[in-house]
Every structure is written in C-alpha cells, then in structure tokens.
Chains A and B, each alone.
Chain A
Amino acid sequence: MSATHVQDGVMATQAALRARGRRRRWFAEVSWKYLLAVVVIVYAAFPLVYVLSASLASSGTLTGSTQLFRSVTSANYQALDSTRFWEWAGNSLQVAVVTAAGSVLMGAAAAYAFSRFRFQGRRGGLTTLLIIQMFPQMLAFVAIFLLLLSLGAVIPSLGLNSKLALICVYLGGALGSNTLLMYGFFNSVPRELDEAAKIDGASHAQIYWTIILRLVTPILAVVGLLSFIATFGEFILARVILTSESNWTLAVGMYAWVSDQLNANWGLFAAGAVIAALPVLVLFLVLQKYIVGGLTAGSVKG
C-alpha cells in the first residue's frame, strides 16, 4: 500500500514535470507565433486603417492625413456627391456585372460541351484554350484600340468610348480564362445523371439548363465572383477604350484623381476607395472558402 503511495507520488511529480515541460515548450514554440501574428496583422492592416483614417480626416488633403484619426468627419464622403464618383461606380458596376454574367454563361456552356460531348477537334480545342489562357488579352491593347477605332466608324455602339464595346472585349477573354476551371468541375458531376435524364426523354438543352447547371452552382459562383473582381479592377483596356469622363470606370477615374492632384484629391480618393473596396472586401471575406478553391485551381488575381 505504501508502495503504491510512493508510486503515486512519483507519478504525480512526473506529471507536474511534464506539465511544466509542456508549458515551457509552449512558450518556446507557440507564444512567439502570437507575437509574430501581431506584427503581420499590423503590416497587413495598416494601409487599410490609414485609408479609413484619411477618408475621415477633415482636411481632405494628403498633408492632413499623416496623423491617424486626428479628426472624424464625413466631409469627404459628402464631397463625393459633387464629383463624378457615383457615375463611375455605376459604370464599373454595370461593366463588371454584365461581364461576370456573360463569362459565366459562355464559360459554362463551353465547359458543358467539352465535358459531355465527344466531337472532332475537342482535344485540339482544349489544348488551344490552355495555350490562349497564357496570353493575357491586354497584351494586344494596341490592336484592340485600332480594331475599335475602325469598328466605331461603322457601328458607333461598338467603337471607342462605348461601355458595350469594353464589355465585348472583356467577353472575348472569358472563354480562355474560365473554361478549363469549369471543365474540371463539370467532369466531377456524375455522367449517370445525364444518362438517366436522356433515357427519360430529356433533350441536351434540358439536361444542361435543369440538371447540370444546378449541380455546378458553386463553380458558377466562383467564376462569376473572380470575373467580377478582375473586371472591377481592370485598368489598361478601360483606360484605352473609354475616352470620355462620363464613361470612365472607377479604376480610370480614381487614377485620374490621384495622378492629377495627389495632395488636393487625397480625401476624395480615400473616401472613394473605402466605398469601392467595401463590397469587394465583404464578398471576398464571406466567400473566402470558395474563392481559395478557385484560386488554387489556376487563376491569378487581376
């Protein structure tokens, strides 16, 4: 009995030692990770905190923005009303939403064709898309500019300075960038489902619209969102194609503010940036999980 007592005592000391060891190990191996996390978070979030502070500063200039949250007013946000900001935001939204919807529709249709039909040139088509994917469309912006220049002489709504023309140009790049991503996902939908529907007399269109599209909704959302974000931030083509100020997108307009009068327009820029970034930020953080899946499958942020 006394022996077991002794044994218990030894075990207790050992447990205490182990616990102390574990704590020491925790200090050595884990605690610094929290410290590092603080540093990283400061690095990541500082510019965002700064832009928020600058947007609330009363002076509205770059000079007045170097002290964080010295004053808090909504003057800069109100000042946006007297600029073209909301017009640009509307343009950006229009262009990005239509492009995203078009990209999803065309990409999904193409992915369906490649995934469900066996036809001549299928392999070649997929390989070509893979190659085209490598060449960003904006590299050919000079040719796009010249094409729209001559197209506009005949069909003005497809010429320079037309949002429709910009959307068409973006849609031209849609197949190359989205089809392969969707193709992989379409392949993961069991073919037996189509076959069952086919036997029940469904046409290929019915299978596509009522069965397949419902099953691939997650990838449609990802592609739509990525396409929206990419179009929203696209600069060079929008800059080249949209010539008049009332047609500009946010990227073009806000660049003009900053490049023109960096100091004087800083408050406006900061307020505009907060408003423009907020929807994207929220969408991104809420749908993080899906986007990460899409990103690792091959697209890069644009």
Chain B
Amino acid sequence: MTTEQSLTAAVVGDEPPPTRRSRQSHARAWDGLGFGFLAKLALMALVNALGVAAGWSAYVNGAWVLLGVMVGLLVVADWVYFSRRPVPLKYLFPGLAFLAAFQLFTIGYTGYVALTNYGTGHNVTQAQAVDALLSQNEKKVPDSPTYPLTIVEQDGELGFAIVQDGAAAVGTADQPLAAAPDATVADGVVTAVPGWQVVPKNQVLSDPALADEVLALRVPISDTAEDGSIRTGDATIGSVYRSVLVYDEAADTLTDAETGVVYRATDDGQFVAEDGTALPVGWRVFVGFENFTKAFTDDTYAGPLLKIALWTFVFAFASVVVSFFFGLVLALVYNDPRVRGRRVLRTLFILPYAFPAFLSALLWRGMLNANPDYGIVNQLFFFGARIEWLDDPTLAKVSVILVNLWLSYPYWFLVCTGALQSLPGDVQEAARIDGAGRWRTFQSITMPLLLVSTAPLLIASFAFNFNNFTLIYMLTGGGPRFTDTSATLGHTDILISMVYQISGVAGGRADYGLASALSIIIFVIIGVISALMFRRTRQLEEVN
C-alpha cells in the first residue's frame, strides 16, 4: 500500500479517525431537519409501503416464493438504509436488486426451463392439469336436481344466481358458488343481487354472442373440481354437471367412468391410456437434457439448426469484417488535413448511424422490394429489373449483410478515425526515416496499432451482431422459408430469431423448454467469445 492509498483508506474507511469524537450516523441521527434525511425517510416509506402491498398480494394469492423474496428484499433494504455500516451497499443496492431479479434470475430460470417440457400442453402443475381435465370432460348428471337460474353480470363478467333449497347462491367461472343471503328471491327465482346486475332473459335470447357465452359458462360448485359445476342449456334452469373422469390420487390415474378406459400419468407429464391415446392437458415435468437432444436430432429442428448456426456465424463475421473494412478505408482516406470541410463530411457520413436501427431495417425492407413498381432500388438503380433481394436465399443473405454495412460502417468510421488520430506520431516518423514506404508503414505500423485498440470493439461487435434480432426480424423476418422442414424457419434466421420462433411468445405453438435450451446454447457461444475477448484485452487488469 502506498502512502497515498493508506491515507485514503484512513479517511474513507468506516471508522472515524480516533481524534474525532464518535458521533451518531447520518442514517439514524436527527441532527436537525436535514433535507437529505427527510428525502430518504420519504423514499423508504414509499418503498416499504409498496413492498408490503406486494407482499400482502403474494400472501393472498398463496405465492410463497414471491412472498419470501419480497420480505427478504424489504428487510435487506431497510437494513441497508437505516444502519450505518454498509455504506457501499447504500449505493449498490437498487441496481443490484434489479440486476438480480431481471437478469441474473432470468438467466438461471432459462437454465431451469431448458430442462423441462414447459410449453403448449404442458403449461401447468399436475394438480392444475387434473382440475382442467376434470372440468373439460363434464357431462350432465343424469338425474341431476335442477335449479331456477338467473344470469347476472358484474364488471363485464357473467355469473349465475341460483335458488337452492330456497336460498340464493351466486358464482362465476372463477368464483365457486357462494351463498348470497341478501339477494331478493321472488317466485323461487332470484330477481336482484346487491352488487350484481341481472341480465334479462330476452337479452340473452336476442344476442347470439351473449347466448353462446351463457351456454359455455361453467360455475364450479366448490373449489374441488370433483364436485362438478352448474351449467345451463336454456338460461333459466341450471343443472349439475360432473366429470366423467375420476381421479385416483393413490394410483395417479384418471378413469373414464363411461368407457372404463384408464389413463395413467407418464413421466412425460401426460395421462396416457393403454392404446396410446393421451388426454390433451399435460403438466410440466423435468426432462433432463431431452430438449438439447431434440434440438440436434429432431427432424424438424436438427437440419435447420445446423444451417442457422452456420449462417449466424457467417452473418456476424461478415457484418463485422465488411463494415469495419469500409469504415477503416473511409477513416484512412479522410484523415487527411488537405481535405477541407472534414467536419461536414463526417456529419454526413454518420447519418445512417443516427437513424434508429429498427426504422432503417424496415425502410430497407420496403426499398428492396422485388417488384420494381414497389421497390425503389430495383426501379432506380437496376433499370426496373425484378431482382429478388429479399426472396432469393442467397441474395437475401447478401442483402442482410449489405444493409448491416449501411447501418454500422459509420460506427467503425468514427472508431477508426479516433484511433488513427491518437496513434503516436513518432513511431510513424521513425518508420519514414528508416525508409519505409506508405504501404509498408500502414502494414507494419498503423494497422497493428489500430487493431490493438479496436480488437475489443470488434469482438463486442461480433457478439452484438450474433444476436442482432432486430435487423433480421425487421428486414426479412427470417425468410425466405426453408422448404424442407415444417418449422417456420428460413434462410436468414439467426439463432436468436430461431429461439423467438420456437418459443411461441408471439403466438402459435409454444415450446419454452426447447427455446430455452437453444438460448443456453447461445449463452455458451457468447461465453466462449467473451473468454477470447478477456484474453485478448487488458480490460481485466484495469479492474483493481
């Protein structure tokens, strides 16, 4: 430790210098109406209020994990801001909390989901799946009691009000029937319920959409799906419907009471009968590395995956090389004091960079339209020829790289100009004195020095383009489609856009498990690239 550092440590350290009398921390002391202390108090009051509200909501909904996290965060937050010791944490905590919740946790969660079969048909837990199956397979109980029924409405949600043994009960699809003692019953029919609006029968009959909704409405009798539900066929009489499936918890089977077919729970998270028929609702199960094997062996995905992975590398590499090269040439050419108006030129050169990237991609999508009546590029520069810029597999790839060149050469122009201007002049002068020509100087002096300072940026840019979803998705949408697979993937799809298609977050069949597995593969690739980067640069050494 140098003297300077030890001095600093003494001053900055937690313990006050021994010569000063120790005084109360700012965290708790009331030394007058300090604005800072009041502001902190108000902020912390707000944070606590929000935290308690969120925690309460979690408690009501039975979300125990979330409740634990909320309480934990709140306790840590209060400790950090009302105790005097963790001074650095006072500055780090907000950022760390967000980082932990929305980046670190989600990365870990991606890893977890990758090992499950989470997706369409496997969205819920087994208990929820059983409930869903029971309610989906309900039939009217043959000798069911019937109840006089009234359609009611609350905030746009329909419900049934029935009279059971002279007492009124109200329920909706989400709220099981509950007694409504303050409802008005006249002639054995509910005519009014406080807080609810009665929907007249005529209205149901005259509005087909409403009638369909009423006929489809299922009001559970209790919280347990086995108890069945109340449904109606004519909007005036309700009857009891009960599931034809019977769940045997001990054997983990569902039995169809009518046909006698037994569906057994499998390790894949589905109920399957002897003959192989499966019930439509499954549940999430841990499948190990099945998603990874599926990605590489499944007919639908394996072929496209290899092609797309290869193209992702080609795209990222070519984009960086082409735009770096063009930017470098421009920088070399215009780093010349004899050229006048260089500031104006620079501003004009970097115009594409100042235009939001997503708009550029969409703009080029229109400009490159194949039909010369539509696309100005074909019309103006190719004499109205019909060149399929975005629809031919090879041309589409070239177009994507050329558009990316337009988008990113200004970045490299700026970076290289900066790097060229900061090159040490004496080395170049020495080379000239030693008789090196211009090309030789460039090759042996300028270029190596330039690469040293731009290498980290080149690798970062490679990593960025590796995941350049916006450009691909907005320009080609991944198209033109592969013809040899049923998956909605195409020749210009890169790995991240493949993940997007498979995940189904934008609609269609969802396979979160497989999508997450592919994300993990991208993580690994990026990790390797970063490791290379760390080895190549001294960034780590700056951290001390």
Interface of A toward B, CB cutoff 8 Å = 26, 29-30, 33-34, 36-37, 40-41, 43-45, 47-48, 50-51, 54, 62-63, 65-66, 105-107, 109-110, 112-113, 116-119, 122-123, 125-127, 130-132, 134-147, 150-151, 153-155, 158, 168-169, 171-176, 179, 184, 191, 194-195, 198-199, 203-206, 208-209, 229, 232-236, 239-240, 251, 254-255, 258-259, 262-263, 266, 269, 273, 276-277, 280-281, 284-285, 288, 292, 295-296, 298, 300-302
Contact = CB atoms under 8 A, between A and B. Distances in A.
Nearest to B409: A44
Q: Which of B334, B359, B496 has the most CB of A within 10 A?
A: B359
A157 to B, nearest CB: 9
A106 B373 contact: no
Given A33-B333, A172-B98, A276-B356, A142 B519 contact: yes
Contacts of A63: 373-374
Interface string B353-386: 1111111101111110100111110011000000
B348 A117 contact: no
Given A143-B106, A233-B357, A155 B54 contact: yes
A173 B286 CA distance: 29
A262 B411 contact: no
Contacts of A155: 54, 57-58
Nearest to A29: B338
28 contacts: A33-B334, A37-B339, A40-B330, A44-B349, A44-B350, A47-B406, A50-B367, A62-B374, A66-B379, A107-B95, A117-B88, A118-B12, A127-B543, A135-B103, A142-B519, A146-B118, A154-B66, A172-B99, A203-B36, A206-B36, A209-B36, A236-B500, A239-B506, A254-B362, A262-B365, A276-B356, A284-B353, A302-B464
B349 A41 contact: yes
A302 B522 CA distance: 18
Contacts of A206: 36
B95 A109 contact: yes
Nearest to B516: A142
B389 interface: no
Given A48-B355, A147-B102, 14 more contacts: A41-B345, A44-B350, A44-B410, A45-B351, A47-B352, A65-B366, A117-B88, A130-B540, A130-B543, A132-B103, A139-B110, A142-B503, A142-B519, A281-B354
B63 interface: yes
Q: Which of B106, B380, B464, B470 has the most CB of A within 10 A?
A: B106
Contacts, number: 309
B374 A118 contact: no
B96 interface: yes
A179 B336 contact: no
Contacts of A251: 358, 470
Interface residues of B, number: 113
Q: Which of B355, B360, B408 has the most CB of A within 10 A?
A: B355
B43 to A, nearest CB: 12
Contacts of B408: 301
Contacts of B96: 110, 175
B505 A292 contact: no
B46 interface: no
A47 B467 contact: no
Contact of A113 (B91, B367, B506): B91
B358 A179 contact: no
Q: Which of A54, A65, A134 has the most CB of B within 10 A?
A: A134
Interface string B88-130: 1111101110110111111101100100001000000000000
Contacts of B474: 235, 255, 258
Contacts of A110: 91-92, 95-96
A170 to B, nearest CB: 8
B473 interface: yes
Contacts of A198: 11-12
B489 interface: no
Contact of A280 (B58, B113, B356, B530): B356
Contact of B103 (A106, A173, A269, A301): A173
A66 B373 contact: yes
Interface in B405-419: 406, 408, 410-411, 414-415, 418-419
Nearest to A272: B359
Nearest to B330: A40
B526 interface: yes
B136 interface: no
A195 B11 contact: yes
A221 B12 CA distance: 28
Contacts of A296: 414-415, 418-419, 457
A127 B543 CA distance: 7
B241 interface: no
Contacts of A191: 8
Contact of B499 (A142, A171, A209, A263): A142
A175 B104 CA distance: 12
A131 B530 contact: yes
Given A26-B338, A139-B522, A47 B95 contact: no
B333 A36 contact: yes
A143 B523 CA distance: 13
A138 to B, nearest CB: 7
A154 B69 CA distance: 13
A258 B362 contact: yes
A298 B464 CA distance: 12
B432 to A, nearest CB: 16
A203 to B, nearest CB: 5
B233 interface: no
B69 to A, nearest CB: 10
B505 to A, nearest CB: 5
B38 interface: no
Nearest to B334: A33
A51 B363 contact: yes
Given A66-B374, A139-B522, A296-B418, A173 B102 contact: yes
A237 to B, nearest CB: 10
B247 to A, nearest CB: 24
A76 B379 CA distance: 23
Contact of B515 (A142, A179, A204, A233): A142
A119 B12 CA distance: 11
Nearest to A255: B474
Given A126-B543, A140-B103, A143-B113, A109 B94 contact: yes
B439 to A, nearest CB: 14
A197 B454 CA distance: 39
A199 B11 CA distance: 8
Contacts of A136: 464, 467
A206 B369 CA distance: 59
Interface string B280-295: 0000000000000000
B106 A240 contact: no
B339 to A, nearest CB: 5
B92 A109 contact: yes
A107 B376 CA distance: 44
Question: Closest 4 interchain pairs by CB?
Answer: A172-B102, A284-B354, A113-B91, A106-B95
B9 to A, nearest CB: 6
A285 B354 CA distance: 7
B505 A233 contact: no
B526 A169 contact: no
A94 B376 CA distance: 35
Contact of B110 (A125, A142, A205): A142
A109 B533 CA distance: 27
Contact of B469 (A65, A138, A229): A138
